[in-house]
Structure 1
Amino acid sequence: MQIPPGLTDEQVIESRLMSGTNELRSKEENSLVSAIRETVTEPMFLLLVAAGIIYFILGETSEGIFMIAAIVLVSAISIYQDSRSRNALEALKALNKPTARVVRNGVEKEVPGADIVKGDVMIVEEGGQVPADGRVLRANDLSVNESILTGEAFAVRKSEGDLLFQGTAVISGMAWCEVTAVGSQTELGKIGRSLEEIRVEKSPLQKQISSFVTKMAIVGAGVFLLVWGINFYHSGNVLESLLKGLTLAMSILPEEIPVAFTTFMALGAWRLMQMGIIVKQTQTVETLGSASVICTDKTGTITENRMELAALYAHGSGQVYNDGNWGPAAAQSVLSTAMWASETQPFDPMEIALHAAYTATAPADERPAFHMVHEYPLGGKPPMMTHVFANAAGQRIIAAKGAPEAILACCHLPEQEAAAVRAQVNALAGKGYRVLGVARSTLEGTAYPAEQQALPFSFTGLVAFYDPPKHNIHEVFNSFYKAGIAVKIITGDNTPTTVSIAQQAGFKGGSQALTGDEIAGMKEAALGSAVKEVNIFTRMFPTAKLRIINALKADRQIVAMTGDGVNDGPALKAAHIGIAMGHKGTEIAKRAASLVLTDDDLSKMVDAVAMGRKIYSNLKKAIQYILSIHIPIILTVTLPLLLGWVYPNIFTPVHVIFLELIMGPTCSIVYENEPIEKNTMLQPPRPATLTFLNWRELNTSILQGLMITLGTLGIYQYAVYNGYPEDLTRTLVFITLMSANVILTLVNRSFYYSMLYTVRYNNRLLRFVLLLSVLLTVAIVYVPPFAAFFKFHPPMFRPLMLAIGAGILSVVWMEGWKWIKRNRGRTIPPNSSPVL
Structure 2
Amino acid sequence: MTKEHRYLGLSYAEVEERKGRGESNEALPPMTRSLKQIFLENSLTLFNFINIVIAGFVIYTGSYKNLLFLGVIIVNTTVGIFQELRAKKNVDELALLNQAKATVIRNGQQEEVSQGEIVKNDLLMIKRGQQIVVDGQVIRTSGIECDESQLTGEADPVIKDEGDTVYSGSFVVSGNALIEATKVGKESYSSKLALEAKGEKSIYSELVQTMKKIIRILTFGIIPVGALLFLSSMLGDMTVNQAILGSTAAMIGMIPEGLVLLTTVALAVGVIRLTQKRVLVKTMGSIETLARVNILCLDKTGTLTSGELKILKTDVIGKLTPKEFGAMIGHVAHDLNEDNATGLALMKAFPVTADSWPITKTIPFSSARKWSAIEYQQKGSVVIGAPEYLFDSFNKELTERMHLATTEGLRVLAIATSQEAIIEQDLPHSLNLEGLIFLEDEIRAEAPQTLHYFMEQEVEICIISGDHPQTVAQIAKRAGVKNSDKLIDMSKVSEKINYQTLVRENRVFGRVSPEQKRSLVEALQANGMTVGMTGDGVNDILALKKADCSIVMANGSDATKGIADFVLLDSNFDSMVGVVLEGRKVVNNIQRVASLYLTKTIYSILLAALFIFISSPYPFQPIQLSPISTLTVGIPSFFLALRPNVAPIKGRFFQNVLEPAFASGLSVVIFAMGILFLGNQFGWRYEETSTVTVWMTGMVCFVALYYVSKPSNWKIMTMISLLFSLFLVLFIFFGRIFSLVSLFQWHLAVVYVPMMLGVIPLFYGLKYIAHRLLGNHHYAK
Work out whether the TM-score is over 0.5: yes
Matches within 5 A, 1:101-116: 101-102=102-103, 110-116=112-118
* Matching residue of 1:47: 50
**Which of 316, 323, 331 is 1:332 aligned to?**
323
Equivalent pair of 1:710/1:810 in contact (CA under 8 Å): no
Task: Spell out, residue by residue over 1:1-25, the C-alpha distance to the aligned partner (whole angstroms, 9 max, x if none).
Answer: 7255777888877765554764258
- Between the aligned partners of 1:193 and 1:429, the Cα distance in structure 2 is 43
2:356 maps to amino acid: A
2:756, 2:357 → 1: CA distance?
Answer: 88
Q: Does 1:564 pair with 2:548?
A: no
The residue that corresponds to 2:246 in the other structure is 244
Q: State the distance in 1 between where 2:717 and 2:63 align.
A: 43
Deviation at 1:388?
Answer: 1.8
What are structure 1's unaligned runs of at least 5 residues?
318-328, 410-414, 761-765, 819-836
1:293 aligned onto 2:263: no
Please name the residue that 1:378 is paired with: 365
* Residues 229-238 or 550-559, more deviating: 229-238
Residue of structure 2 equivalent to 1:387? 374
Structure 1 residues 18-38: Cα deviation after superposition (integer angstroms, max 9, x where no partner): 547642587999956545655
* Counterpart among 408, 424, 437 of residue 431 in structure 1: 408
> Take 1:639 and 1:424, find their aligned partners in 2: how far apart are those partners?
83
- Counterpart in the other structure of 1:488: 462
Larger deviation, residues 182-191 vs 430-439:
182-191
Match of 1:346 among 338, 343, 364: 338
What residue is the counterpart of 2:572 in the other structure?
601
Could you say which residue in structure 2 is the equivalent of 1:369?
A: 356
Structure 1 CA distance for aligned equivalents of residues 276 and 101 of structure 2 = 24
Within a 5 Å distance, the mapping from 1:564-583 to structure 2 comes to: 564-583=536-555
Matched, 1:144 2:105: no
Segment of structure 1 superposing worse, 429-438 or 378-387: 378-387
Deviations 1:422-471 (A, max 9, x none): 2221122222110010012224xxx7533542333221011111012112
Match of 1:825 in 2: none
Q: Which amino acid aligns with 1:402?
A: G
Partner SS, residue 453 of structure 1: coil
The equivalences for 1:621-660 within 5 A come to 621-633=592-604, 648-656=617-625, 659-660=628-629
Deviation at 1:400, TM superposition (A): 0.7
Task: Look up the equivalent residue of 2:562 and give its one-letter code.
Answer: R
Match of 1:307, SS state, is: strand
- For residues 321-375 of structure 1, the C-alpha deviation after alignment (integer angstroms, 9 at most, x for no partner) is xxxxxxxx7333333343444363331122112112122xx7xx14x52343212
C-alpha contact 2:660 2:704 (8 A) present in aligned 1: no
Aligned AA (2:740): F
TM-score by length of 1: 0.79
Provide the secondary structure at the position in 1 that maps to 2:264. helix
Q: Counterpart amino acid of 2:443? A: P
Cα distance in 2 for partners of 1:721, 1:611 equals 54
Write out per-residue CA displacement over residues 68-89 of structure 1, whole angstroms, 9 at most, x where no aligned residue: x744651452254145336525
Aligned counterparts of 1:451 and 1:282: Cα–Cα separation in 2: 43
SS in 2 for 1:139: strand
Question: Is residue 78 from structure 1 mapped to residue 39 from structure 2 by the alignment?
Answer: no
1:459 aligned to 433, 441, 459, which one?
Answer: 433
1:698 and 2:658 correspond:
yes
CA distance in 1, matches of 2:477, 2:606: 62
* 8 A Cα contact 1:123 1:174, kept in partner: yes
Q: 1:172-194 CA deviation, whole Å, 9 max, x = no partner?
A: 11234455554334443377899
Cα separation, partners in 2 of 1:3 and 1:89, compared to 1, 3 Å:
farther
Deviations 1:208-248 (A, max 9, x none): 43233333444445543442343122117667535533322
Distance 1:84 1:571, change over 3 A: same
Shift of 1:46: 3.6
After superposition, what is the alpha-carbon deviation per residue over 1:770-802, rounded to whole angstroms, capped at 9, x for unaligned? Answer: 96896698468635xxx5553234554998999
Q: Distance in 2 between matches of 1:311 and 1:382?
A: 24
Contact 1:388/1:398 (<8 A) preserved: yes
Q: Which residue of 2 aligns with 1:792?
A: 740
Whether the 8 Å CA contact 1:135–1:179 is kept in 2: the answer is yes
- The amino acid across from 2:327 in the alignment is S
- CA 1:298–1:33 in 2, change beyond 3 Å: closer, same or farther? closer
Determine the structure 1 residue equivalent to 2:504: 532
Task: For 1:9 and 1:73, locate their aligned partners in 2 and report how far apart those are by CA, in whole Å.
Answer: 57
Could you tell me which amino acid in structure 1 is paired with residue 519 of structure 2?
R
1:465-506 Cα deviation digits (max 9, x unpaired): 101211222212211211112111111111221222222222
Q: Deviations over 1:551-594 (max 9, x none)?
A: 211111111121222121111112212222221x2223233433
Change (3 A) 1:614 1:49: closer
| Alignment size in residue pairs | 758
Residue 673 of structure 1 and its aligned partner are, at CA, apart by 1.7
Equivalent position of 2:774 in the other structure = none
- Alignment CA distance shift 1:796-1:600 (3 Å): same
Cα distance in 2 between the residues matched to 1:700 and 1:795: 28
Output one character per residue of 1:247-302: Cα deviation in whole Å (capped at 9) or x when no partner.
22222233443333333334433433333333323332222222121111111111
For residues 559 and 28 of structure 1, what CA distance do their matches in structure 2 show?
23
Distance 1:797 1:289, change over 3 A: farther
Aligned AA (1:399) = V
CA positional deviation for 1:387: 0.6
Q: TM-score, normalised by structure 2?
A: 0.84
Within 5 Å, which residues of 2 pair with 1:164-313? Answer: 164-179=166-181, 182-189=184-191, 203-221=205-223, 223-235=225-237, 240-313=242-315
Q: Which one-letter code corresponds to 1:692 in the other structure? A: F
Q: Structure 2 CA distance, aligned partners of 1:151 and 1:481?
A: 37
1:384–1:609 Cα change, 3 Å? same
Question: What is the CA–CA distance in structure 1 between the aligned matches of 2:474 and 2:28, rounded to whole Å?
Answer: 50
Alignment-derived partner of residue 777 in structure 2: none
CA RMSD across the alignment: 4.2
Match of 2:524 in 1: 552
Deviations 1:698-751 (A, max 9, x none): 33332233445566677778888887654455445434444654564454222x
- Alpha-carbon shift at residue 315 of structure 1 (Å): 0.6
Alignment of 1:311-330 (within 5 A): 311-316=313-318, 330=321
Question: Which residue identity does 1:672 align to in structure 2?
Answer: A
Separation of aligned partners in 1, 2:64 and 2:592 = 36
Worse overlay, 307-316 or 787-796: 787-796
- Distance of 2:214 and 2:286 partners within structure 1: 21
In percent, how many aligned pairs have the same letter? Answer: 22
Contact 2:28–2:116, Cα closer than 8 Å, also in 1? no
Q: Take 1:183 and 1:477, find their aligned partners in 2: how far apart are those partners?
A: 44
Change (3 A) 1:243 1:599: same
Q: Deviations over 1:657-702 (max 9, x none)?
A: 565566774476333322225xx1xx5x53xxx43233x6633332
Which residue in 1 is equivalent to 2:478?
A: 504
Report the CA distance between 1:307 and its aligned residue: 0.1
SS in 2 for 1:235: coil
CA–CA separation in structure 2 for the residues paired with 1:811 and 1:7: 79
CA distance in 1 between counterparts of 2:328 and 2:259 reads 65
Do the aligned residues in 2 keep the contact of 1:140 with 1:343 (CA within 8 Å)? no
Q: Which amino acid aligns with 1:676?
A: N
1:217 and 1:252 in contact (8 A); partners too:
no
Q: Distance in 2 between matches of 1:456 and 1:341?
A: 19
- 2:389 is the alignment partner of 1:441: no
Corresponding residue SS for 2:694: helix
Contact 1:216 1:254 (C-alpha < 8 Å) held by counterparts: no
The residue aligned with 2:733 is 782
* One-letter code aligned to 1:210: K
